[in-house]
Structure 1
Amino acid sequence: MSGRFGIEGTAIVTGASSGIGRAIAERFAEAGASVVVCSREQGNVDPVAEGIRDAGGEALAVECDVTDREAVEALIESCVEEFGTVDCLVNNAGASFMAGFDDISENGWRTIVDINLTGTYNCTQAAGEQLKEGGGTVINLASVAGQRGSPYMSHYGAAKAGIINLTTTLSAEWADDDVRVNCIAPGFVATPGVESQMGVSAENIDREEVDRRIGLSEEIADIAQFLASPASSYIVGETITAGGIPRVEDGEV
């Protein structure tokens, strides 16, 4: 894909075995990028890379636990060995579970913060040198839970709030290196995980319907493509919320 929405170079997408991560990886490949897809289990991410290659794109699948710094550094090395550069990093890997604050164990809290926030730190810092060489982009995935909180998701919301702040802070630090850092905060998206919890299938969602509170992975991929492309060259340090129409409750939006 040419033009202002095309994506050149190589993109790494973490948590790319399904849902939003997979949609972003496939979209980036369609837009012209070579894509490195990773997840914690090789068998889950191999089909994603195979599908991209079958469609005429370039892709490499790598097993990587983003909480393991050595594994993350190996991911960056594999990307450079295969494609020569790292031009875009999409920090999508994440996890969550619902629990009241009083019921969250130390291990549960640490696990969610490690995967979501520390994983973003690990990948971004490890890829920093490569991203700065040619001027790259970082796209972090947060959540509306990180913007305004969400009952029974305090651990997840706190981690995602950290990602939003990291985005703002790092965008200022890395601007002189021509690296743009931005963030997407999705609301409910009809991923396989959400479908299993809420029973809402992506097949039942009409993109043309404005009045809705659940979106599609492809709609988040649209935003990611924009943020990775030259079309968003004047957007730095921003968090774009994709949560559908706000609801008016008790006179407030």
Structure 2
Amino acid sequence: MTTDQFSVDGQTAIVTGSSSGIGKSIVERFAEDGANVVVTSREMENVEPVADEINESERPGNALAFECDVTDRDAVQELVDATVDEFGSLDILVNNAGAGFQAPPTEITENGWKTIVDINLHGTFHCSQIAAEYMKDNGGGRIVNLASVAGVRGSKTMSHYGAAKAGVINFTTSFAADRAEDDIWVNCIAPGLVATEGVRSQMGVEDDAGGIERTTPDRTIGKPEEIADLTQFLASPASSYMVGETVTIKGLPRLE
């Protein structure tokens, strides 16, 4: 069996929110497979170590560190321009940047609501629209959005986050339909609990990724690397018949 169709070798990928957690695992995975990657988040001091580690490793892909706030449209344009200047193309966009906090709906301020929607939904819109304009004129590409199971079925004390991620899911379907004629594939991933620092700090989950066995199906928390695996599939030619889809990855279903 050939595995060439799963490769992103020779591609250039922007992964937002890639200084830690799922995003970091994705840029490391892509670079391991030979893709050039742009490591980006709001603080340069957080992305530089990730890019330096990739460049100093034996991974065949190279990394560029770039500071970008995805809620700032001008900053996103600068991100895309810098990517093309550095690597000569933009083939893959992974909209991973996101934020959330726990609070009952009655305690969420208007500013808190707007902040979460702005980062998760508007940020995805800005990056997708600007990247797609480049891809349209340069042979197409692939966009992978990161949503959440909270956006599929809701989540207690996460109404703002769930609403924003539900918007990402619907945006994926609609945007995919509009950009398919430009040879742009758009799909979405809706993860359940993943052992990242953000999940541990926000939700009090104590599971550490290092202690999770991938050989065990009987679990309801995953590793960042498992989301990276699915992201690479959606960013590769292997997913050529998937357009506008949202793939839920959450381990064992909880049956009542």
Q: Matches of 1:24 and 1:238 in 2, distance apart?
A: 19
Provide the residue aligned with 2:175 in structure 1. Answer: 170
User: Residue 195 of structure 1: CA displacement?
Assistant: 2.6
Amino acid at match of 1:148: R
* 1:154 corresponding residue in structure 2: 159
C-alpha distance in 1 between matches for 2:246 and 2:49? 31
Is 1:51 the counterpart of 2:50? The answer is no
Counterpart CA distance in 1 for 2:183 and 2:30 is: 21
Q: Percent identity of the aligned residues?
A: 62
Supply the distance in 2 between the matched residues of 1:42 and 1:149 (Cα, whole angstroms): 33
**Secondary structure, counterpart of 2:39 in structure 1:** strand
Q: Is the Cα contact below 8 Å between 2:25 and 2:228 reproduced in 1? A: yes
Q: CA RMSD in A?
A: 1.0
Partner of 1:234: 241
CA distance in 2, matches of 1:61, 1:37: 5
Query: Do the aligned residues in 1 keep the contact of 2:132 with 2:184 (CA within 8 Å)?
Result: no
Equivalences for residues 63-82 of structure 1 within 5 A? 63-82=67-86
What is the one-letter code of the residue matched to 2:15?
A: V
Query: 1:54, 1:176 → 2: CA distance?
Result: 39
Residue 117 of structure 1 corresponds to: 121
Mapped partners of 1:26, 1:191: distance in 2: 15
Bigger mean CA offset, 190-199 vs 72-81: 190-199
Q: 2:221 aligns with which of 214, 219, 229?
A: 214
State the Cα deviation string for residues 31-69 of structure 1 (Å, max 9, x = none): 221101100000000011111111232110100000111
Q: Does residue 24 in structure 1 map to residue 31 in structure 2?
A: no
| 1-structure distance, mates of 2:184, 2:25 | 23
1:92 Cα shift?
0.1
1:100-139 equivalence runs, <5 A: 100-132=104-136, 133-139=138-144
1:95 matched to 2:99? The reply is: yes
Deviation of the 1:11 alpha carbon: 0.3
Q: Is the 8 A contact 1:42 1:61 kept in 2?
A: yes
TM-score, length-normalised on structure 2?
A: 0.95
SS in 2 for 1:134: coil
C-alpha contact (below 8 Å) 1:5/1:31 kept by paired residues? no
Displacement of 1:236 in angstroms is: 0.7
Distance 1:98 1:59 in 2: 34
SS at match of 1:116: helix
Does the aligned pair in 1 maintain the 2:40–2:68 contact within 8 Å? yes
Instruction: Please give the alpha-carbon distance, in whole angstroms, between the structure 2 residues aligned to 1:135 and 1:68.
Output: 24
User: Does residue 246 of the first structure (1) align with residue 253 of the second (2)?
Assistant: yes
> TM-score, normalization: structure 1?
0.96
- Gap regions ≥5 residues in structure 2: none
- Equivalent position of 1:200 in the other structure: 207
Deviations for 1:155-188, whole angstroms, at most 9, x for unmatched residues?
A: 0000000000000001111111110000000000
Distance 1:185 1:99 in 2: 21
Instruction: Measure the CA separation in 1 of the matches of 2:19 and 2:185.
Output: 25
Looking at structure 1, the residues matched to 147 and 80 of structure 2 have their Cα atoms a distance apart, in angstroms, of 22
- Give the letter for the 1:158 counterpart: A
Alignment correspondent of 1:13: 15
Partner letter of residue 197 of structure 2? P
Q: Secondary structure at the match of 2:247?
A: strand
Equivalent residue letter for 1:112: I
SS at match of 2:101: coil
Question: Where in structure 1 do 4 or more consecutive aligned residues deviate above 4 Å?
Answer: none
